[in-house]
A and B are shown apart, each in its own frame.
Chain A
Amino acid sequence: MTRRAVETDVCIVGSGISAAMVAERLARTTTAKILVIEAGDDTVPLAQRAAARERFVRYNENPWGRDHLEGYEVEGPLQSRSMQVGGLAMHWGAVTPRFSPEDFKQHSLYGVGTDWPISYEDLDPFYQEAEELMGVAGEQGPEDLDPRGKPFPLPAIPLTYNLDLLKKWASSAGIAMWSQPSAKNSIPYRGRPQCCRNDTCSPICPIGAKYSPDFTWSALRKTNRITLTTRTLVRKLVLSPDGKTVTHAIATNRDRPDEPVELRAKLFVVAAGYTWSSHLLLLSAQDKAPNGVGNSSGLVGKYLAGHRNVQTIVELPLRLYPGMNEQHSLVTKQFMRLKGGSEYTRHDLRIWESSNGRAPRLTDDSGALMLGDAILDDWRRRTKTGTARVRAYYDVIPDRGSELTLDVARKNEFGDPLPKLSFRDAPESVSMRARTEESIRTLFADMARAGDGRLLRAPTVDNFQDHPSGGCRMGSDASSSVVDSWGRTHDHENLFVVGAPTCVSGSCANATLTFCALALRSAREMERGLPQASAKSSE
Chain B
Amino acid sequence: MPLTRRGFLASLAATVPLAVIVRRAHAAAAEYVQGDPATLDALALTVLPSQLGRAGIAREAAAFRDWAAKYKESAELVHGYGTSRLRSTGPTPLTRWTAQLDQLDADAQRLRQRRFRDLSAGDREQIVRDALKGERLDRMPAVVDASHVALALLAHFYDSPGAADLCYEAQIGRQTCRPLAAQANKPRPMLKVLEK
Contact = CB atoms under 8 A, between A and B. Distances in A.
Interface stretch (A13-21, A333-341, A375-383, A508-516): A375-383
B11 interface: no
Contacts of B47: 371-372
B184 A363 contact: no
B185 interface: yes
Given A78-B83, A200-B175, A369-B129, A375 B180 contact: no
Contact of B67 (A58, A72, A74): A58
A359 interface: yes
Contact of B163 (A77, A325, A360): A360
Interface string A309-341: 000000000000111111000000000000000
Contact of B140 (A61, A160, A195, A362): A362
B78 A56 contact: yes
Contacts of B167: 360, 376, 379-380, 383
A362 B144 contact: no
Nearest to B169: A380
Contacts of B144: 59
Given A65-B76, A323-B161, A323-B164, A81 B84 contact: yes
A110 interface: no
A355 to B, nearest CB: 8
A372 B46 contact: yes
A198 B125 contact: no
A430 interface: no
A372 B125 contact: yes
B128 A371 contact: yes
Contact of A161 (B77, B129, B180, B183): B183
B180 A82 contact: no
Nearest to B151: A362
Looking at chain A's contact residues, is the secondary structure mostly helix, strand, loop, or mixed? loop
Nearest to B168: A321
A435 B80 CA distance: 30
B178 A197 contact: yes
Given A161-B186, A323-B164, A362-B137, A80 B79 contact: yes
B68 to A, nearest CB: 11
B23 interface: no
Interface string A452-469: 000000000000101000
A323 B46 contact: no
Interface string A350-361: 000001000111
B78 A60 contact: yes
A62 B72 CA distance: 12
Given A61-B75, A373-B50, A383-B167, A196 B177 contact: yes
A500 to B, nearest CB: 15
Contact of B174 (A60, A195, A323): A323
Contacts, number: 156
A361 B175 contact: no
Interface in A58-110: 58-63, 65, 67-68, 72-74, 77-82, 91
A521 B17 CA distance: 58
Contacts of A62: 75-79
A416 interface: no
B1 interface: no
Contact of B181 (A59, A67, A158): A158
Contacts of B173: 323
A197 B49 contact: no
Interface in B60-97: 67, 70-72, 75-79, 81-86, 89
B172 A324 contact: yes
B49 A73 contact: no
Interface string A196-233: 11111001000100000000000000000000000000
Looking at chain B's contact residues, is the secondary structure mostly helix, strand, loop, or mixed? loop
B6 to A, nearest CB: 27
Q: Which of A61, A73, A360 has the most CB of B within 10 A?
A: A360
B85 A59 contact: no
A383 B168 contact: yes
B154 interface: yes
Contact of A363 (B70, B82, B138, B181): B138
Contacts of A160: 183-184
A385 interface: no
B56 interface: no
A383 B128 CA distance: 27
A34 interface: no
Given A196-B180, A197-B183, A359 B140 contact: yes
Interface string B117-133: 00000000100110010
B81 A80 contact: yes
Contact of A375 (B49, B75, B132): B49
A359 B158 CA distance: 9
Contacts of A56: 78
B128 A61 contact: no
B170 interface: yes
Interface in A33-67: 55-63, 65, 67
Nearest to B158: A360
B175 A323 contact: yes
A239 interface: no
Contacts of A362: 137-140, 151, 154
A157 interface: yes
B49 A372 contact: yes
A68 B184 CA distance: 39
Task: Please provide the 4 A-B residue pairs with the shortest distance between their CB atoms, ordered closest to farther.
Answer: A323-B174, A376-B49, A196-B177, A78-B84
Given A80-B81, A158-B183, 18 more contacts: A59-B71, A59-B89, A60-B142, A73-B85, A78-B83, A158-B180, A158-B184, A197-B177, A197-B178, A199-B174, A325-B183, A360-B163, A360-B167, A362-B151, A369-B132, A371-B128, A372-B49, A376-B167
19 contacts: A55-B75, A61-B72, A61-B75, A65-B76, A78-B83, A158-B183, A196-B177, A196-B178, A198-B175, A322-B174, A324-B187, A360-B140, A360-B163, A361-B139, A362-B154, A363-B137, A363-B138, A371-B46, A380-B167
